[in-house]
Amino acid sequence: MSGDYLQLRRVNFRGPTADVSLNFIAGVNVICGASDTGKSFLAEAIDFMLGGSELRDIPERAKYAEIWLDLSAGEGNKWRLKRSASGGNFKLIDLEDPEYTERVLKQSHAHDKTDNISGFLLEKVGLLGKRILKSAAKSTTQSLSFRNLARLAIIQEGEIQDRGSPFWSGQFTTKTSDLAAVKLLLTGIDDSSVVTAPDSGQDNTRQIALIQELLADISIEIEDAGEDRDELVAQSERLEESIEISREDLNSAQRELNVLIENRRTLVEERQIARARIDEISELLARFDLLGRHYEVDMQRLDAIRESGSMFAHLEPVSCPVCGADPKSQHLELTCEGDVDAIVTAASAEIEKIKQLRHELDETVADLKEEQTEVGKELAAVDAAFQDVNRDIQQTVGPEVSGVRTSFAALVEERARVEKSLSQFGRREKLEERLRSLIDEGGDSPDKGAVQTGLPESVAHFFSQKISTILKQWNFPGDCLVHYDKQASDFVIDGKPRGSRGKGLRAITHAAVSIALLEFCQENGLSHPGFVVLDSPLLAYFKPEGDDDLQLKGTDLKERFYKYLINHHGAGSQVIIVENQHPPENMLGRLAMTVFTGNPADGRFGLL
């Protein structure tokens, strides 16, 4: 064995008013329970305490200022790492030596030095001072950092279900060094003997790496969409035809709606005119009624004058009751005209005139009432027509136009989606053309005598057999025939690329690769961090996706998964499983289990 293997013993979050911890044992550890209780955050915290750059800021973390991580390295070596929750350098304590003076470990890696967290950990696993290939084209190497190994031992939830290779991060700029780190673990041979190539004066490596990274992102997007370019082109043509037909239908329906709206507007105007005329007639009739009453009063007054005058003219003259003057001596013309007959005649003439005016008024009132009746009938007809047109607009033509418009908008939106997908293919072609151009100019071409990268064929073969054995013992669906695809830096299982399977099966197979790497190194006396943290390897049971994942429903893979880990990982090895579901009950006495209930009144609520 080259060096010792590390094992995690305890993680402790400390603050002025809070202190929580979680212990680990050798063998199999399971942290399970409700969602959003800090299970994935635990995996992130472990990575942070082994040199990760930063820790995700969650509300529960606010009351903790410092994190401690206890770990062991071989027999009788127990260490404690302390670090601020905000990041920065580390403090190191030897738990086996009471006289040990606390010392500082720098966060930044330095080659072949143990005054930093990376060098300290590498020394414990026997890999201090190793170098790995950085660029095959230029034959350059870089110092091995523990961060190159951490992603192989701590598999986060997002990584374990990723379509990419378990061996590299998906960044083309680090692909060479990622694979070189795996080769170092599987062979025990580093790249310190590689001789750096002289500067050729034409270095397109960075541009090539960037374009390869962009190509990888676009290819993943295209693969995730699962659409064929020819089908997209045909679909785009069909959509154009459908959009044109839908546009004509929309224009026709809109014209019909516009006609109805114009008719309704005309009917509204006619209704307003009719109502205004009825109101005007009503006002005139009220005034004429008042005028008629005035005529009646005048005629009554004149008739009284006429009757009293007639009576006065037929009376006999008598002596004045005041002065006693006889009728002949009286001077009536001095106090009034005294012509009673003329007054009666005038009153009669005025009565006849008023009667004529009253007759004319009655005729006018009759005409107005007749007009009022006719206008009322017209108003009723206009109202009925308005209701019919408005009903057609709201219940028939309007909804039809809305439906056609919605259909048209959906077609346009679908065309935009198809055009966006097609543009991805166009972008990929342009990037591929640019990549070929850079390679022709002297970039990272495969035929320029560059250092060979990746795993040796024989090692890849034996390692693939190890993965196959694990999958068979887990009762993975199929024959579990595994071989390594050097081009993809990934594994093909039963003729199907691992990355093309469902999310759940990708998680299971990623876990198999990680466990196989640990066991291969231990069985062959090779260096390895010594532990594996797997976040959600049994995702297919919790969140199945597609037919691939549904194959596991009803199988005993989950039971065999835990049984295998318990049988193959004891005192000299450590596996930490982070899962939502509990292990099978018959396994509980053979592993260490911590349950996060998510219920403050029941057990442990969560990590923090």
Neighbouring CB atoms inside 10 A of 438's CB total: 19
pLDDT of residue 546: 64
- Is residue 260 domain-resident? yes
**Rounded to 5 degrees, what angle do the CA atoms 35, 548, 583 make?**
40
Q: Does residue 206 register a pLDDT over 90?
A: no
Question: In terms of domains, do 166 and 238 share one?
Answer: no
pLDDT of residue 397: 85
Average pLDDT over residues 2-9: 85
Average pLDDT over residues 324-345: 66
Question: In terms of domains, do 428 and 479 share one?
Answer: no
Burial of 256 (0-12, 13-18, 19+ CB in 10 A): middle
**Rounded to 5 degrees, what angle do the CA atoms 538, 540, 545 make?**
155
Whether 272 and 310 have beta carbons less than 8 Å apart is answered as no
- Is residue 225 domain-resident? no
Residue of 82, 78, 123 whose CA lies nearest to 96: 78
Domain boundary among 364, 398, 433: 433
Question: Among the ranges 142-156, 170-184, 406-420, 445-459, which has the highest mean pLDDT value?
Answer: 142-156
Q: How many CA atoms lie within 13 A of 434 on its CB side?
A: 16
- Is residue 147 domain-resident? yes
Tell the residue number behind the tokens 């307003």, with chain if given.
272
pLDDT of residue 446: 46
Question: In terms of domains, do 174 and 266 share one?
Answer: no
Domain boundary among 403, 433, 463: 433
Whether 527 and 126 have beta carbons less than 8 Å apart is answered as yes
pLDDT of residue 114: 95
Domain of 554, CATH number, reads: 3.40.50.300
95 vs 78: CA distance, rounded Å: 5
Tens digit of each residue's pLDDT (9 = 90 or more) over 351-376: 889 889 989 989 999 999 999 999 99
Residue of 97, 198, 65, 22 whose CA lies nearest to 605: 22
Question: In terms of domains, do 500 and 397 share one?
Answer: no
Question: Which structure tokens are listed for 585?
Answer: 């009950």
Q: Per-residue b/e over 172-203, b at no fewer than 16 CB within 10 Å?
A: bbbbbbbbbbbbbbbebebbeebeebeeeeee
Question: In terms of domains, do 389 and 345 share one?
Answer: yes
Average pLDDT over residues 183-209: 79
Average pLDDT over residues 73-92: 92
- Is residue 313 domain-resident? yes
Question: In terms of domains, do 118 and 12 share one?
Answer: yes
566 vs 574: CA distance, rounded Å: 10
- Is residue 44 domain-resident? yes
Instruction: Supply the DSSP string of 102-150, one letter for each residue.
Output: PEEEBSS--TT-SSBHHHHHHHHTT-TT-EEEEETTTTEEEE--HHHHH
Question: Among the ranges 8-17, 32-41, 215-224, which has the highest mean pLDDT value?
Answer: 8-17
608 vs 598: CA distance, rounded Å: 11
Contacts of 528 (CB under 8 A, 6+ apart): 5, 125, 149, 153, 185, 517, 518, 521, 522
Could you give the number of structural domains in the chain? Answer: 2
344 vs 312: CA distance, rounded Å: 10
Q: Does residue 227 register a pLDDT over 50?
A: yes
Question: In terms of domains, do 174 and 242 share one?
Answer: no
Q: How many CA atoms lie within 13 A of 146 on its CB side?
A: 30
pLDDT of residue 201: 52
424 falls in which pLDDT band (50, 70, 90)? confident
pLDDT of residue 2: 54
Percent of the chain past pLDDT 70, that is, above it, reads 90
Question: Which structure tokens are listed for 5?
Answer: 């293997």
483 vs 469: CA distance, rounded Å: 12
pLDDT of residue 439: 65
Neighbouring CB atoms inside 10 A of 480's CB total: 18
**Rounded to 5 degrees, what angle do the CA atoms 600, 602, 604 make?**
70
- Please give the radius of gyration of the chain, using alpha carbons only, rounded to the nearest integer: 51
pLDDT of residue 432: 81
Least confident of 155-164, 204-213, 368-377, 575-584: 204-213
- Is residue 560 domain-resident? yes
Domain of 297, CATH number, reads: 1.10.287.1490
Least confident of 164-173, 191-200, 266-275, 469-478: 191-200
pTM of the model: 0.65
Question: In terms of domains, do 495 and 414 share one?
Answer: no
Mean pLDDT for the chain overall: 87
Q: Does residue 105 register a pLDDT over 60?
A: yes
Neighbouring CB atoms inside 10 A of 170's CB total: 16
Least confident of 229-233, 260-264, 475-479: 229-233
Tell the residue number behind the tokens 């044992």, with chain if given.
25
Least confident of 65-74, 212-221, 266-275, 352-361: 212-221
Using alpha carbons, list the distances in angstroms from residue 140 to 182, 186, 442, 525: 17, 21, 17, 28
Instruction: Supply the DSSP string of 205-229, one letter for each residue.
Output: HHHHHHHHHHHHHHHHHHHHHT--H
Domain boundaries, position 330: 232-433
- Is residue 578 domain-resident? yes
573 vs 82: CA distance, rounded Å: 24
129 falls in which pLDDT band (50, 70, 90)? very high
Question: In terms of domains, do 274 and 334 share one?
Answer: yes
Question: In terms of domains, do 174 and 55 share one?
Answer: yes
Average pLDDT over residues 582-595: 93
Average pLDDT over residues 273-285: 92
pLDDT of residue 4: 82
- Is residue 128 domain-resident? yes
146 vs 155: CA distance, rounded Å: 15
Question: Which structure tokens are listed for 581?
Answer: 């579901």
Residue 321 or residue 136, greater confidence: 136
| Strands of the sheet with 482-485, listed across from one edge | 482-485, 490-493, 496-497
Question: In terms of domains, do 428 and 505 share one?
Answer: no
Question: Which structure tokens are listed for 508?
Answer: 């299971």
Question: In terms of domains, do 324 and 188 share one?
Answer: no
Length of the chain: 608
Whether 90 and 82 have beta carbons less than 8 Å apart is answered as yes
Question: Which structure tokens are listed for 249?
Answer: 């239908």
Neighbouring CB atoms inside 10 A of 383's CB total: 15
